[in-house]
């Protein structure tokens, strides 16, 4: 794939940056300090979630990059996606998949903060090999600069995207009404951004679609799907309740795409920037589709256990905290109602 | 062609119970669901006390024993004057276990009704909710010669008369008797037959004197088995309609058979209870949806412009998306079969529109409409609306919003459900297909000939209007001690409903009016007041209305103006009476009626309302309105005879 042109021009880059800002602001508007406290108070589900999110996801990305023999730049982009914290869209999907919304939100909140430490560590672990390959390629091609993964820049860009998140949280503190608006707008904006990038790429850079090898499409689709599968598996292995399984599964597979775009734009230069952006854009587009289907599936299989669990919770609210709801086995079968 | 996208909701199955009669149903529910809550009573907003299936049955058994000990005969008629409360269901359980039948009525029953009904039914024992009712019955003592025993239901009430005992006191007595080995309840239950009465309900219908509808155990059991609604022990049912009406009662019995808990709410606490109980299901009347509709619109008007705009977009998308889904899943209420080519062409357009809107709808449904649904009560999976026609506009609003309102149709005489929309056949504007086991005929009003089903006619007789005539396991045994009325309603096993209906192409029933409601003008033209009134009440300026004009030259209307509507339109008025006296207000209403009852809305020239009279007071329940808020035309005709006369001078 030899395309010298930039994928998106500076004007589009500016627009994109603005949109990311709004999206991250909206994500913050959905969070309260309470969410962080919840995360610390009941850490079991979260820890298992982290194991899956920061332990498995980068490994899956690394494995896919090797299996599909991606070019070094694309492999680094894929691993970068694998190391990302969870996005705010995962909360919406978790809600509709009858997963634990509280767990999803607290995982998103905590992983965004934790990413400051985890991302450099994980990138060093998995991506440094590809970085050396890339460095060698560049020098073969006659470049006199060394390529190293810009850890400092990555942390700086992460900090930069966290600023609007905090801004959103402040807004939530002072004006819940406006915060709700910001949240809805941001969710809408996230879809617009992906569509805008895809359509502009399709119209202006049709060759990108044609020149993209099938492996990239496979990688972009599979990283999410395998993430869902392994996330569910991890939670099952630790015998978590069904609604935690669904939340962790979605949280694992759905990464914060806008952060990937921000990091790539701020930390990587051409000639590899466009190549990396393209992987991130494809991932962001496919993850919406795959997680919609997975959510519909979870919603269906989770109906009874969710209803029973929710019913129990309402019984406790109305009849007193000590009220025990005992569903007879012969009535509900072997459904896990925890 | 139109059915290729039929979506099936596959729900996980849970155990449910059924039985040959209601006494056995209570027993089996207790054995199956045990400690799960069956009913819950509100103490405070977030403080409710549950009664489990086992406790309900145990208390019912004890009370039944005490009743038998008091000398209650098999198949005796027990009076039951109370509103929705858990003691009502305990009393009902005891009645069934004692092999008796109850004669229920709400606490707003009038003295005249008590005398007529108790006298006609031969009531000797009566449950009464409160001390106030006890006093009223005692005052009527002279006119109730058969009455021997009163039982107070409210836990805090104290018996004032030597004749009165308390329900919980009797339960204690019964427990002692059972502990001593009393097994008379088991004997009564063993003697019970499906054909025995479980209740005798006196209807205060829209016409004439009350008639005692005899409903059997088999009637109610058939309803439990055939109502096509899926709920289970994870569901919560909110009870808001009057329990003495069979429509609410069938839902409570249905809830018992499915192991789900019923929460007693009230009009005053409904908003709070919707939020706290998060019901998943409820029996409801059109009035409830109208007020929820108003509430949602109001809360949206108060949001700031950005979110209001988001709601508009979401509603627009949902509207067009769902229209396509309805078309593609064959859920259109077409009266006639459409030409194949036309259906195919429209199908292609709908598939394209569906695909185009899917991602946008998906997002807006999740981000915006879900919030609105949460405001209404969170987990509502659906609701059956009955007891009157649901205005089309409101019907659509909730269905587009994603809260399926399943409109149903039935009468007390049919215990009551005859037809109901299901999630699969959610055809707006109809009351759905007939439930399993129920046969339907549409009969010509003039000749009495069967119009549907008739293979000789075009499309089997679909699309033809006539009287709705039914046969099925839910049809009553007859009217108690009233063979003339029974013979008139039940002919060769077919029950004549007195409603005018038409079967749509998709085999769903549409109710278009009452036979007896038809107004015949002096010039011989016929008109149905119901559709006109339904349209008029959708106007923000009109709260209630009645169209009159039998044997007159032209139709006219009595209107109760809407105080809120006028205030929203910028009027500074203090009362309905003030509006009624205002000529300007009348002209506004007249102008409104002129635009609504117009040929563009499908009304014909002779249906145009010529004159209008604004009334000074709202219609009152129990007075001009039935418990289910239907207008009693004969009462209106009497009470407002003077006003009606003035419309024709």
How does pLDDT run across B615-646, given as a tens digit for each residue? 988 888 878 887 767 788 878 888 898 889 88
Which pLDDT score is estimated for A170? 92
Q: Which residue has the higher pLDDT, B265 or A7?
A: B265
Residues A232 and A321 in one domain: no
Using a CB-CB distance cutoff of 8 angstroms, which residues of chain B are in contact with residue A29? Answer: none
Candidate from A181, A308, A315 with C-beta closest to B304: A181
Q: How do the domains of chain B map onto residue ranges? A: 22-192+227-284, 285-403, 519-646
**Within B227-368, where are the H helices?**
246-258, 270-277, 286-301, 305-328, 340-364
In angstroms, the separation between the Cα of residue A280 and the nearest Cα of chain B is 20
Q: Which CATH class is domain B22-192+227-284?
A: alpha beta
Which pLDDT score is estimated for A178? 86
Average of per-residue pLDDT across A321-338? 88
**Cis omega before residue A211 (within 30°)?**
no
Using a CB-CB distance cutoff of 8 angstroms, which residues of chain B are in contact with residue A325? Answer: 36-37
- Residue A238's domain comprises 10-301
Q: Which residue has the higher pLDDT, A1 or B596?
A: B596
* Chain A residue with Cα closest to B380: A307
**Within a domain: A338:** yes
Using a CB-CB distance cutoff of 8 angstroms, which residues of chain B are in contact with residue A22? Answer: none
Using a CB-CB distance cutoff of 8 angstroms, which residues of chain B are in contact with residue A194? Answer: none
**Cis omega before residue B176 (within 30°)?**
no
Name the band, by pLDDT with cuts 50, 70 and 90, for residue B6: very low
Q: How do residues B200-223 score in pLDDT, each as one tens digit? A: 999 865 455 788 999 999 999 999
pLDDT surpasses 60 at B7: no
Using a CB-CB distance cutoff of 8 angstroms, which residues of chain A are in contact with residue B275? Answer: none
Q: How do residues A110-122 score in pLDDT, each as one tens digit? A: 899 899 999 999 9
| Residue whose tokens read 């991932």 | A283
Average of per-residue pLDDT across A288-313? 91
Using a CB-CB distance cutoff of 8 angstroms, which residues of chain A are in contact with residue B32? Answer: 328, 330-331
CA atoms lying within 13 Å on the CB side of residue A129: 11
Q: Say whether residue B46 is in contact with chain A using an 8 A CB cutoff.
A: yes
* Chain A residue with Cα closest to B302: A177
Candidate from B40, B234, B367 with C-beta closest to A304: B234
Q: How many CB pairs below 8 Å do chains A and B form together?
A: 97
In angstroms, the separation between the Cα of residue A327 and the nearest Cα of chain B is 7
Numbers of helices and strands, H then E, in chain B: 22, 27
Which pLDDT score is estimated for B208? 56
In angstroms, the separation between the Cα of residue B14 and the nearest Cα of chain A is 5
Most confident of A92-106, B169-183, B287-301: B169-183
In angstroms, the separation between the Cα of residue A250 and the nearest Cα of chain B is 16
* Count of beta carbons in the 10 Å neighbourhood of residue A129: 16
Rounded CA separation B351/B541 (Å): 40
A53 and A111 Cβ atoms separated by less than 8 Å: yes
- Name the burial class of residue A332, with classes exposed (0-12), middle (13-18) and buried (19+) by CB atoms within 10 angstroms of its CB: buried
Name the band, by pLDDT with cuts 50, 70 and 90, for residue A66: very high
- The structural domain count of chain A equals 2
In angstroms, the separation between the Cα of residue B455 and the nearest Cα of chain A is 42
Query: Dihedral, CA atoms, B161, B162, B165, B169, nearest 10 degrees?
Result: 120
Q: How do residues B240-262 score in pLDDT, each as one tens digit? A: 999 999 999 999 999 999 999 99
Look up residue B621 and give its DSSP letter. Answer: B
Residues A235 and A142 in one domain: yes
**Within a domain: A32:** yes
pLDDT surpasses 70 at B334: no
Yes or no, beta carbons of A331 and B32 under 8 Å apart = yes
Using a CB-CB distance cutoff of 8 angstroms, which residues of chain B are in contact with residue A95? Answer: 366, 370
Yes or no, beta carbons of A318 and B15 under 8 Å apart = no
Which CATH number does the domain housing residue A92 bear?
1.20.1530.20
B17 and B29 Cβ atoms separated by less than 8 Å: yes
Residues A178 and A196 in one domain: yes
Using a CB-CB distance cutoff of 8 angstroms, which residues of chain A are in contact with residue B233? Answer: 308, 311, 327, 331-332
Average of per-residue pLDDT across A55-60? 94
Name the band, by pLDDT with cuts 50, 70 and 90, for residue A269: confident
Q: Which residue has the higher pLDDT, B303 or A169?
A: A169
Calculate what percentage of chain B has a pLDDT beyond 90: 53
pLDDT surpasses 70 at B388: yes
pLDDT surpasses 90 at B177: yes
Average of per-residue pLDDT across B93-105? 97
Name the band, by pLDDT with cuts 50, 70 and 90, for residue A197: confident
Q: How do residues B401-419 score in pLDDT, each as one tens digit? A: 888 889 999 999 999 999 9
Q: What would you report as the CA-atom Rg of chain B, rounded to the nearest whole angstrom?
A: 26
* Chain A residue with Cα closest to B237: A311
Which pLDDT score is estimated for B496? 94
Yes or no, beta carbons of B235 and A304 under 8 Å apart = no
Yes or no, beta carbons of B233 and A332 under 8 Å apart = yes
**Within a domain: A3:** no
Candidate from B32, B37, B367 with C-beta closest to A315: B37
pLDDT surpasses 90 at B38: yes
Q: Which residue has the higher pLDDT, A227 or A9?
A: A227
Using a CB-CB distance cutoff of 8 angstroms, which residues of chain A are in contact with residue B280? Answer: 307
pLDDT surpasses 90 at B601: no
Residues A78 and A126 in one domain: yes
**Within a domain: A5:** no
Using a CB-CB distance cutoff of 8 angstroms, which residues of chain A are in contact with residue B379? Answer: 310
Rounded CA separation B93/B73 (Å): 16
ipTM value for the complex:
0.81
**Within a domain: A4:** no
B330 and B505 Cβ atoms separated by less than 8 Å: no
Using a CB-CB distance cutoff of 8 angstroms, which residues of chain A are in contact with residue B238? Answer: none
Residues A230 and A318 in one domain: no
Q: How do residues A139-158 score in pLDDT, each as one tens digit? A: 888 777 778 889 988 999 99
Q: What dotted CATH number matches B519-646?
A: 3.30.300.30
Q: Which two tokens stand for residue A172?
A: 């939530």
pLDDT surpasses 50 at B322: yes
* Chain B residue with Cα closest to A325: B36
Yes or no, beta carbons of A325 and B11 under 8 Å apart = no
pLDDT surpasses 50 at B420: yes
**Within a domain: A2:** no
Candidate from A188, A310, A311 with C-beta closest to B367: A188
In angstroms, the separation between the Cα of residue B600 and the nearest Cα of chain A is 39
Yes or no, beta carbons of A327 and B15 under 8 Å apart = no
Rounded CA separation B182/B104 (Å): 28
Yes or no, beta carbons of A319 and B236 under 8 Å apart = no
Residues A330 and A218 in one domain: no
Spatial neighbors of B37 by CB under 8 A, at least 6 apart, are A315, A319, A325, B50, B51, B52, B53, B261
Q: How do residues B430-469 score in pLDDT, each as one tens digit? A: 899 999 999 999 998 878 899 999 999 988 999 898 999 9
pLDDT surpasses 50 at B550: yes
**Within a domain: A167:** yes
Residues A308 and A262 in one domain: no
Which pLDDT score is estimated for A1? 40
Strand-pairing partners, residue B496, are B469
Yes or no, beta carbons of A181 and B306 under 8 Å apart = yes
Residues A297 and A308 in one domain: no
Q: Which residue has the higher pLDDT, B389 or B567?
A: B567
Which candidate, B350, B503, B506, B351, places its Cα nearest to that of B427?
A: B506
Which pLDDT score is estimated for B205? 52
Helix (H) / strand (E) containing A207: helix A206-211
Residues A223 and A264 in one domain: yes
Yes or no, beta carbons of A333 and B14 under 8 Å apart = yes
Candidate from B12, B35, B366 with C-beta closest to A96: B366
* Chain B residue with Cα closest to A310: B234
In angstroms, the separation between the Cα of residue A19 and the nearest Cα of chain B is 17
Residues A244 and A333 in one domain: no
Can you state the angle between helices A57-67 and A101-140, rounded to 10 degrees? 40
3-state secondary structure of B327: helix
Which pLDDT score is estimated for A2? 41
Q: Say whether residue B306 is in contact with chain A using an 8 A CB cutoff.
A: yes
Alpha carbon distances (Å) from A102 to A43, A207, B300, B357: 12, 43, 27, 30
Using a CB-CB distance cutoff of 8 angstroms, which residues of chain B are in contact with residue A303? Answer: 11-12
Residues A280 and A326 in one domain: no
Residues A120 and A232 in one domain: yes
Yes or no, beta carbons of B233 and A311 under 8 Å apart = yes
Calculate what percentage of chain B has a pLDDT beyond 70: 96
Yes or no, beta carbons of A317 and B46 under 8 Å apart = yes
- Mean pLDDT estimate for chain B: 88
3-class secondary structure for B157-207? CCCCCCCEEEHHHHHHHHHHHHHCCCCHHHHHHHHCCCCCEEEEEEECCCC
Which pLDDT score is estimated for A90? 87
Q: Which two tokens stand for residue A86?
A: 């969870």
């Amino acid at each position: 794939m030899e395309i010298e042109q930039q994928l998106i021009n500076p004007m589009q880059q500016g627009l994109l940056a603005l949109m990311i800002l709004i999206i991250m602001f909206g994500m913050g508007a959905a969070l309260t300090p309470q969410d962080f406290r919840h995360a610390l108070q009941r850490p079991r589900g979260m820890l298992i979630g982290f194991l899956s999110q920061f332990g498995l996801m980068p490994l899956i990305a690394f494995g896919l990059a090797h299996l599909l023999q991606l070019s070094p730049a694309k492999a680094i982009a894929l691993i970068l996606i694998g190391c990302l914290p969870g996005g705010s869209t995962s909360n919406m999907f978790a809600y509709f998949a009858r997963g634990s919304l509280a767990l999803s939100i607290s995982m998103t909140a905590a992983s965004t903060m934790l990413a400051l430490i985890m991302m450099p560590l994980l990138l060093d672990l998995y991506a440094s090999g590809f970085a050396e390959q890339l460095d060698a390629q560049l020098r073969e091609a006659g470049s006199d600069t060394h390529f190293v993964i810009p850890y400092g820049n990555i942390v700086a860009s992460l900090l930069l995207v966290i600023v609007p998140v905090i801004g959103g949280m402040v807004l939530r503190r002072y004006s819940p009404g406006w915060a709700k608006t910001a949240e809805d707008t941001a969710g809408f904006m996230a879809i617009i951004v992906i569509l805008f990038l895809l359509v502009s790429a399709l119209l202006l850079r049709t060759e990108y679609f044609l020149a993209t090898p099938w492996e990239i499409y496979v990688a972009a689709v599979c990283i999410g799907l395998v993430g869902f599968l392994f996330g569910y598996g991890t939670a099952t292995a630790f015998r978590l309740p069904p609604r935690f399984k669904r939340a962790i599964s979605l949280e694992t597979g759905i990464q914060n795409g806008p952060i990937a775009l921000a990091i790539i734009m701020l930390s990587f230069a051409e000639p590899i920037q466009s190549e990396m952006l393209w992987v991130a854009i494809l991932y962001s587009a496919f993850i919406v589709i795959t997680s919609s289907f997975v959510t519909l599936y979870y919603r269906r299989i989770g109906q009874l256990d969710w209803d029973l669990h929710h019913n129990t919770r309402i019984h406790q609210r109305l009849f007193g905290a000590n009220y025990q709801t005992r569903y007879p086995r012969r009535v509900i079968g072997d459904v896990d109602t925890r | 062609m139109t059915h290729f996208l039929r979506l099936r909701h596959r729900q996980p199955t849970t155990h449910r119970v059924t039985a040959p009669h209601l006494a056995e149903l209570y027993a089996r529910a207790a054995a199956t669901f045990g400690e799960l809550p069956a009913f819950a009573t509100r103490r405070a907003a977030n403080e409710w006390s549950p009664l489990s299936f086992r406790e309900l049955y145990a208390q019912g058994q004890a009370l039944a024993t005490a009743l038998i000990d008091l000398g209650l005969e098999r198949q005796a008629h027990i009076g039951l004057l109370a509103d929705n409360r858990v003691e009502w269901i305990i009393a009902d359980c005891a009645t069934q276990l004692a092999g008796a039948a109850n004669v229920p009525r709400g606490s707003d029953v009038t003295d005249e009704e008590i005398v007529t009904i108790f006298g006609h039914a031969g009531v000797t024992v009566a449950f009464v909710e409160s001390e106030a009712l006890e006093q009223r019955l005692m005052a009527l003592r002279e006119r109730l010669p058969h009455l021997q025993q009163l039982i107070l239901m409210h836990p805090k009430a104290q018996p004032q008369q030597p004749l009165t005992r308390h329900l919980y006191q009797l339960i204690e007595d019964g427990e002692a008797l059972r502990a001593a080995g009393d097994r008379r309840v088991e004997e009564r239950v063993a003697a019970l037959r499906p054909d025995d009465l479980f209740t005798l309900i006196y209807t205060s219908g829209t016409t004439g004197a009350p008639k005692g509808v005899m409903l059997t155990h088999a009637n109610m059991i058939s309803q439990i088995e055939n109502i096509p609604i899926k709920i289970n022990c994870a569901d919560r049912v909110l009870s808001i309609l009057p329990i003495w009406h069979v429509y609410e009662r069938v839902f409570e019995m249905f809830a018992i058979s499915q192991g789900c808990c019923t929460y007693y709410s009230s009009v005053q606490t409904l908003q709070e209870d919707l939020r706290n109980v998060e019901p998943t299901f409820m029996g409801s009347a059109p009035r409830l949806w109208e007020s929820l509709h108003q509430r949602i619109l109001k809360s949206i008007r108060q949001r700031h412009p950005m979110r209001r705009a988001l709601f508009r977009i979401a509603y627009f998308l949902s509207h067009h998306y769902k229209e396509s889904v309805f078309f593609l899943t064959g859920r259109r209420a077409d009266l006639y079969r459409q030409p194949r080519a036309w259906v195919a062409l429209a199908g292609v357009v709908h598939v394209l529109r569906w695909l185009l809107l899917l991602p946008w709808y998906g997002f807006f449904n999740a981000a915006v409409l879900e919030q609105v649904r949460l405001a209404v009560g969170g987990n509502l999976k659906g609701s059956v609306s009955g007891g009157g026609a649901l205005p089309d506009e409101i019907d659509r609003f909730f269905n587009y919003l994603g809260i399926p309102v399943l409109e149903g149709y039935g009468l007390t005489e049919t215990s009551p459900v005859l037809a109901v929309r299901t999630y699969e056949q959610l055809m707006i504007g109809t009351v759905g297909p007939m439930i399993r086991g129920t046969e339907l005929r549409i009969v010509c009003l003039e000749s009495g000939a069967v119009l549907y089903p008739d293979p000789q006619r075009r499309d089997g007789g679909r699309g033809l209007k006539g009287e709705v005539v039914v046969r099925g396991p839910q049809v009553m045994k007859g009217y108690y001690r009233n063979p003339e009325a029974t013979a008139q309603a039940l002919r060769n096993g077919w029950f004549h409903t007195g409603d005018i209906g038409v079967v749509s192409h998709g085999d769903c029933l549409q109710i278009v009016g009452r036979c007896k409601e038809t107004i015949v003008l002096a010039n011989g033209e016929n008109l149905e007041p119901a559709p006109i009134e339904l349209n008029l009440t959708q106007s923000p300026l009109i709260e209630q209305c009645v169209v009159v004009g039998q044997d007159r030259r032209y139709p006219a209307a009595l209107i109760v103006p809407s105080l809120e509507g006028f205030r929203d339109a910028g009027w500074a008025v203090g009362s309905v009476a003030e509006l009624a006296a205002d000529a300007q207000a009348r002209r506004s209403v007249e102008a409104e009626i002129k635009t609504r009852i117009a040929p563009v809305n499908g009304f014909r020239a002779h249906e145009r309302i010529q004159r209008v009279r604004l009334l000074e007071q709202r219609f009152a329940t129990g007075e001009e309105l039935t418990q289910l808020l239907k207008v009693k035309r004969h009462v209106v005709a009497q009470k407002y005879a003077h006003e009606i006369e003035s419309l024709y001078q």
